[in-house]
Homo-oligomer: A and B are copies of this chain.
Amino acid sequence: MSIKEHIERAQIDVASALNLYFEQALDSDRAIKEATHYSLFNGGKRLRPFLVYATGKILGADKKDLDILAAAIECIHSYSLVHDDLPAMDDDDLRRGRPTCHIVYGEAQAILAGDALQTLAFELIAKHSFNCSAQTQVKMIAALAHASGLEGMVSGQGLDIAATDKIITVQELERIHKLKTGALINCAITLGALCSENVDEQTLENLSVFGYAIGLAFQVHDDILDVEGDTVTLGKPQGSDIAANKATYPALLGMLGAKEKAQNLIQQAHEALANIDADTTLLASLANYLIERDH
């Protein structure tokens, strides 16, 4: 299978796992249930689920366990997008070519849908009967919470908002992205690895280097696409970062500098994989794909 086919496989698998929950959720407000479902199924790339599956598979984790972890991390990612799009935050009307959650369901329901999606992530992991031990289950919940919260994604978004309209350094921009997107991308890999229960500290460390490198490369490439991509392919207006006065890598490093940075990061990612004693072909292909994609 090509990397694109592997990503499509992850998209199908995580969709099944998510839909299973929605068929079972009984006593819930219909509007919020609809809004959460709409937000989860908005044509996302499912990069984080893919990373859960790819890493877990390499290390021998159970497929059904990975389904739950993939669904959970996508819930966190999805909640963060719903809240980031709100008028008080980035104020975006479109995401991937479709109206954002608050445009369709109103602001109150969008806030609640985001809240419910975050809870759902933890509920999915805590309710599943894993093949791994309860100790590992707790460790995975701790990792997901740490990556999402005050010392991870939420602080990244806070710093990002604070940096709008300000001149910041490349180091400051990297800290923002490390927290805002890096922490969760890295966590996807950690979850896949922990779930296998036969992963040593050194492998976890190498996977983490890989995770942060591709997370940052992903972001640099996003900034490049914001300048060079076209609106239809991107599903959002080309140039929207610049219009919103967001600091970007092309703005700070120049377009050539940004492209070089993305290449260097992918090189680092490959070096980290080379130190891992397992077949990491799929993760290597993903790294290359991340800086070649057009949306």
Contact = CB atoms under 8 A, between A and B. Distances in A.
A150 B151 CA distance: 26
A266 to B, nearest CB: 25
Nearest to A149: B119
Contacts of A255: none
Given A141-B141, A145-B122, A179-B27, A150 B33 contact: yes
B108 A29 contact: no
B116 A32 contact: no
A12 interface: no
Contacts of A36: 150
Contact of A150 (B111, B116, B145, B150): B116
A158 B29 contact: yes
Given A31-B158, A161-B108, A148 B134 contact: no
A118 to B, nearest CB: 6
A108 B123 contact: no
A233 interface: no
Given A118-B118, A134-B137, A150-B28, A142 B158 contact: no
A111 B86 contact: yes
A133 B133 CA distance: 11
A43 to B, nearest CB: 22
Interface string A85-105: 010110000000000000000
Contact of A151 (B25, B114, B139): B25
A47 B135 CA distance: 30
A87 to B, nearest CB: 8
A58 interface: no
24 contacts: A25-B150, A28-B150, A29-B150, A32-B154, A32-B158, A33-B150, A83-B115, A88-B106, A88-B107, A89-B111, A108-B158, A111-B111, A112-B157, A114-B115, A115-B115, A115-B118, A116-B150, A118-B118, A119-B149, A120-B149, A122-B122, A122-B145, A123-B149, A134-B134
Interface of A: 25-29, 31-33, 36, 79-80, 83, 86, 88-89, 106-109, 111-112, 114-116, 118-120, 122-123, 125-127, 133-135, 137-139, 141-142, 144-146, 148-151, 154-159, 161-162, 179
Given A25-B150, A33-B155, A111-B111, 8 more contacts: A83-B111, A109-B158, A112-B161, A116-B150, A116-B154, A120-B150, A133-B134, A138-B141
